[in-house]
Amino acid sequence: MKKLLFVLAALLITGAANAQFSFGPKIGVNLSQVTTNLNTINDQMKTGLQIGAFVRVGSKVYLQPEFLYSTGGVKLSNVPIGSPTNINVKSIDVPLMLGTRVINLKVANLRLMAGPVASFIVDKQVDYNGAVTATKEVSIKNANWKAQFGAGLDILMFSLDVRYSYDLNNSMEQQAKEFNWEKNSVNVTLGWKLF
């Protein structure tokens, strides 16, 4: 965490020195869905919230670290007895986006971006279908890696981003290893550039 704060501070100083710097709050929604290794399971898209801040450093090519509080999860049906049916997760997500402006006008610009996301679980709740045996109990890893890519549109001081996010690792731990999942999500956020 100290290294992350040091990197963010260095980016702030560098950005301020070069005057190619934006900072502001952002808020948005997550639409999550999972794929599993069990074909009989049905999943429903679940909506969550994202709130936090971003820093953008650079002009044509830019670096954009973010610090976000996110909620989300999955809802599953037709699962075997003792398997999870509803998973709710709250996390601190730290994306590090590398982007480029593909259209740069005076009042608006269009951006493309991609990068990794470190996700740290701060709260989790798992509901099960019936009784849970020790071999079917599921736990969620406290730290996970994701990848994101997407596009953004800046109009005046507003910054709208639409990104696709997917897990780089199986975020479930289970003794029997019978239930593996990949969580994919679409994130839509609106930021306000304070400067």
Q: Per residue in 54-80, pLDDT tens?
A: 999 998 999 999 999 999 887 777 666
Measure the CA–CA gap between 188 and 135, rounded to whole angstroms: 37
Q: Could you tell me the domains of the chain?
A: 2-192 (2.40.160.20)
Kind plus residue range of the DSSP H or E element containing 88: strand 84-104
Q: Per residue in 79-118, pLDDT tens?
A: 666 666 777 889 999 999 999 999 999 899 999 999 999 9
pLDDT band at 176 (very low <50, low <70, confident <90, very high): very low
pTM: 0.80
- Average per-residue pLDDT for the chain: 82
pLDDT at res. 29: 98
14 pLDDT above the threshold of 90: no
pLDDT band at 119 (very low <50, low <70, confident <90, very high): very high
Which is more confident, 143 or 169? 143
Measure the CA–CA gap between 14 and 21, rounded to whole angstroms: 9
Burial grade of 114 (CB within 10 A; 0-12, 13-18, 19 or more): middle
**Residue found by looking up tokens 């071999």 in the block:** 135
